[in-house]
Chains A and B, each alone.
Chain A
């Protein structure tokens, strides 16, 4: 369960200080599917970075279960990200020189898993997203939808508690968008994940159990 208490995040900019998040207090129970919407620059990505242990708040507390992310050293945050949090990005963020299987394996490398076991788990993850025949292909040899499936396999291969998706269908056509969302939703249901999706797309947001809107750093619930 995520628990955010009075979280504020400010950045120093040339034209003064920018407050991306302002006094956000939020609780997200385990296993919930949450959609976060809002205008560009409203603070969606900053909130996702807080939840993903990629940023620390300027003030306030961010906790994932018993771990207080806001006060953890970098090395421990890397450990949390390696074990408990999976990421899916809008641009897929695959490593262009590695094959699909090797890209998935990068998520297992920090866990010290032996290479044979790593390969087997990566293959299984790719099979689970429908890419069992494409394990040896490099990203440039895959379509956008297939690349996002590889990214989802990479996020899920370590069996995380939380999956954070930042505009996961932003670069895809409607049909592929629906396929990807079907896949994410199915995995969420099957694996009992906490799934948090940042999206502009109302069709995607409507699939979530809970919808949050963030505007000028303030979070509001949307019914």
Chain B
């Protein structure tokens, strides 16, 4: 009888059933899409961070930066000094060229003993150190003053000659690329885990102390370099041994990778590092490791992935904010509205069916049987809404995934001079950096375009169906309670 009665009520009161089911369906669809987009945006943020910090990095340790110092290794703009005999002279012009490998303004280094300290912290699975540098190449052409070929005429008779324009002028170029010193014998964590080898080979233990370089594929293409070619860094020649491409973006955080000890030697930063990348034994250990590192390295900036996520900017950040604020509140409001509609319709239905329920009680139905009937109807209405909502939600996710909106995310990995702490030690610059030049502010290190892909998980679907059933149960419980309170005499009284 329960099933027959329920079926008849739902099919013969189609309007009410449809309104409740549609309201619930829209809610469930919205919940699925908002949760899905939220998961997709989180995954995209993780990809952006991976492009900078590497896959598996749970924590980064860097040094709180200090203000720039004049020509110092710890920060300030580099200076280039040329003696009178420097350069090569030909055809009335002198060619000058000088390269410096240095940390960027505002970047800070710290003793590499910190690596051992971090490795000694409980539950640290692996850790590796890097040194982030910028190679600045200053080159130009000036008139050969000693040969009298350039400069301003003193007697007003002979026009100036030589120089870049042949009339006594000069021309200078400044080129900068980012260089990351990698511990080639270290643990498999850090920047190189975010890239894949596309040509040549990667580092091995035999590369310690050698002048070998691995290039980012974007930079290699721009600089027209390949495996076996030579690249000048810090005034020395490096053999290109491999090309790598980012696994998650069109640009990685650095242009070149060289052995850590070589980077330290060329930058005059022996025993110095800029970032330690840490992998925890378990995700549940991250808080403890962060706390322990902050204790043993009180001057260090210790950042977890959660902290780093806040460094992601761009449309990805906007999407994240939108989902976490508007999307969540919209879901809550629509959910509350759907529950309220469901409850009000159920109560209205019970009120309208007073005589019906009174009659059923008069013919011997117990309170429990009447409550079960009302609750059952509400539950099925909620479940119908849930099923339709899941279908609509999945369809919405399918449409979004087919459209594939592209979100752009930048992870800020350095610090403006005098600014706040940076999560990492990467540096910006030509050509892949997000901003700044060799003498400007150091800003975003990697801009990544991520195609938003919304994952569909059983958990989201189960939660959505659970909400629909909860809504049905809530409405049914309240409606059933109203029905149970009806006195059977109402049926007779209403017709007497």
- Decide if A81 is an interface residue (CB 8 Å cutoff): yes
- Decide if B488 is an interface residue (CB 8 Å cutoff): yes
Query: Given that A93-B491, A118-B1 are contacting pairs, would A78 and B365 also be in contact in the complex, using a CB cutoff of 8 Å?
Result: yes
Shortest beta-carbon distance from B134 to chain A in Å: 79
- Decide if A220 is an interface residue (CB 8 Å cutoff): no
**In the complex, residue of chain A having the shortest beta-carbon distance to the beta carbon of B368:** A75
- Decide if A65 is an interface residue (CB 8 Å cutoff): no
Shortest beta-carbon distance from A115 to chain B in Å: 8
Query: Given that A102-B4, A106-B1 are contacting pairs, would A166 and B369 also be in contact in the complex, using a CB cutoff of 8 Å?
Result: no
Which residues from chain B contact A67 at a C-beta distance below 8 Å?
none
Contact B492 A48 (CB under 8 A): yes
- Decide if A33 is an interface residue (CB 8 Å cutoff): no
Contact A97 B364 (CB under 8 A): no
Measured as residues with beta carbon below 8 angstroms from the partner, the interface class of chain B is 20 to 34
For the complex, give the distance between the alpha carbons of A87 and B358 in Å.
12
**In the complex, residue of chain A having the shortest beta-carbon distance to the beta carbon of B358:** A93
For the complex, give the distance between the alpha carbons of A109 and B360 in Å.
10
Query: Given that A93-B355, A98-B5, A102-B5 are contacting pairs, would A154 and B363 also be in contact in the complex, using a CB cutoff of 8 Å?
Result: yes
A49, A81, A86, A97 pick with most chain B CB within 10 angstroms: A97
Query: Interface digits, B473-496 against A, CB 8 Å rule (1 contact, 0 not)?
Result: 000000000000001110111111
**In the complex, residue of chain B having the shortest beta-carbon distance to the beta carbon of A170:** B495
A residues contacting the other copy or chain, number (CB 8 A): 39
Which residues from chain B contact A48 at a C-beta distance below 8 Å?
492
- Decide if A79 is an interface residue (CB 8 Å cutoff): yes
For the complex, give the distance between the alpha carbons of A111 and B103 in Å.
88
The number of residue pairs between A and B whose CB atoms lie closer than 8 Å in the complex comes to 102
Interface residues in B7-44 (C-beta closer than 8 Å to A): 8-9, 11-13
Which residues from chain B contact A107 at a C-beta distance below 8 Å?
363-364
- Decide if B359 is an interface residue (CB 8 Å cutoff): yes
Query: Given that A45-B492, A49-B489 are contacting pairs, would A75 and B364 also be in contact in the complex, using a CB cutoff of 8 Å?
Result: no
Query: Given that A97-B13, A118-B1 are contacting pairs, would A90 and B364 also be in contact in the complex, using a CB cutoff of 8 Å?
Result: no
Could you say which of B365, B489, B496 contacts A55, with CB atoms under 8 Å apart?
Answer: B489
Interface residues in B230-248 (C-beta closer than 8 Å to A): none
Contact A167 B366 (CB under 8 A): no
- Decide if A186 is an interface residue (CB 8 Å cutoff): no
Shortest beta-carbon distance from A108 to chain B in Å: 8
For the complex, give the distance between the alpha carbons of A102 and B360 in Å.
13
Query: Given that A97-B12, A154-B363 are contacting pairs, would A110 and B492 also be in contact in the complex, using a CB cutoff of 8 Å?
Result: no
- Decide if B361 is an interface residue (CB 8 Å cutoff): yes
- Decide if A18 is an interface residue (CB 8 Å cutoff): no
Contact B365 A102 (CB under 8 A): no
Query: Given that A54-B362, A81-B364, A91-B495 are contacting pairs, would A97 and B8 also be in contact in the complex, using a CB cutoff of 8 Å?
Result: yes
Shortest beta-carbon distance from B203 to chain A in Å: 77
Query: Given that A54-B492, A89-B491, A95-B356 are contacting pairs, would A109 and B369 also be in contact in the complex, using a CB cutoff of 8 Å?
Result: yes
Main secondary structure on B side of the interface with A: helix
Contact A106 B496 (CB under 8 A): no
- Decide if B367 is an interface residue (CB 8 Å cutoff): yes
For the complex, give the distance between the alpha carbons of A49 and B366 in Å.
17
- Decide if A63 is an interface residue (CB 8 Å cutoff): no
Could you say which of B12, B358, B495 contacts A167, with CB atoms under 8 Å apart?
Answer: B495
- Decide if A83 is an interface residue (CB 8 Å cutoff): yes
Which residues from chain A contact B487 at a C-beta distance below 8 Å?
54-55
Contact B492 A82 (CB under 8 A): no
- Decide if A201 is an interface residue (CB 8 Å cutoff): no
Contact A78 B366 (CB under 8 A): yes
**In the complex, residue of chain A having the shortest beta-carbon distance to the beta carbon of B5:** A98
Contact B495 A106 (CB under 8 A): no
Interface residues in B434-472 (C-beta closer than 8 Å to A): none
Query: Interface digits, A133-170 against B, CB 8 Å rule (1 contact, 0 not)?
Result: 00000000000000000000011001000000011000
Contact B362 A87 (CB under 8 A): yes
Query: Given that A82-B364, A87-B363, A107-B364 are contacting pairs, would A44 and B496 also be in contact in the complex, using a CB cutoff of 8 Å?
Result: yes
Query: Given that A45-B496, A79-B364, A110-B365 are contacting pairs, would A89 and B359 also be in contact in the complex, using a CB cutoff of 8 Å?
Result: yes
Interface residues in A63-79 (C-beta closer than 8 Å to B): 74-75, 78-79
Contact B13 A110 (CB under 8 A): no
**In the complex, residue of chain B having the shortest beta-carbon distance to the beta carbon of A80:** B364
- Decide if A52 is an interface residue (CB 8 Å cutoff): yes
Query: Given that A97-B12, A97-B13, A102-B5 are contacting pairs, would A52 and B496 also be in contact in the complex, using a CB cutoff of 8 Å?
Result: no
For the complex, give the distance between the alpha carbons of A205 and B356 in Å.
28
Contact B362 A110 (CB under 8 A): no
Contact A78 B364 (CB under 8 A): yes
Which residues from chain B contact A74 at a C-beta distance below 8 Å?
367
Between A and B, 23 residue pairs with Cβ closer than 8 Å are A45-B493, A45-B496, A48-B492, A49-B489, A54-B488, A74-B367, A81-B364, A87-B492, A90-B495, A91-B494, A95-B356, A97-B5, A102-B1, A102-B8, A106-B1, A106-B360, A106-B365, A109-B1, A109-B369, A110-B364, A110-B365, A115-B1, A118-B1
| Residues of chain B at the chain A interface (Cβ within 8 Å) | 1, 4-5, 8-9, 11-13, 355-356, 358-367, 369, 487-489, 491-496
| Residues of chain A at the chain B interface (Cβ within 8 Å) | 44-45, 48-49, 52, 54-55, 74-75, 78-79, 81-83, 86-87, 89-91, 93, 95-98, 102, 105-107, 109-111, 115, 118, 154-155, 158, 166-167, 198
Known: A102-B5, A158-B364, A166-B492. 14 other contacts (CB 8 A): A49-B492, A54-B362, A75-B366, A87-B363, A89-B491, A91-B495, A97-B8, A106-B363, A106-B365, A110-B364, A110-B365, A111-B364, A154-B363, A167-B495
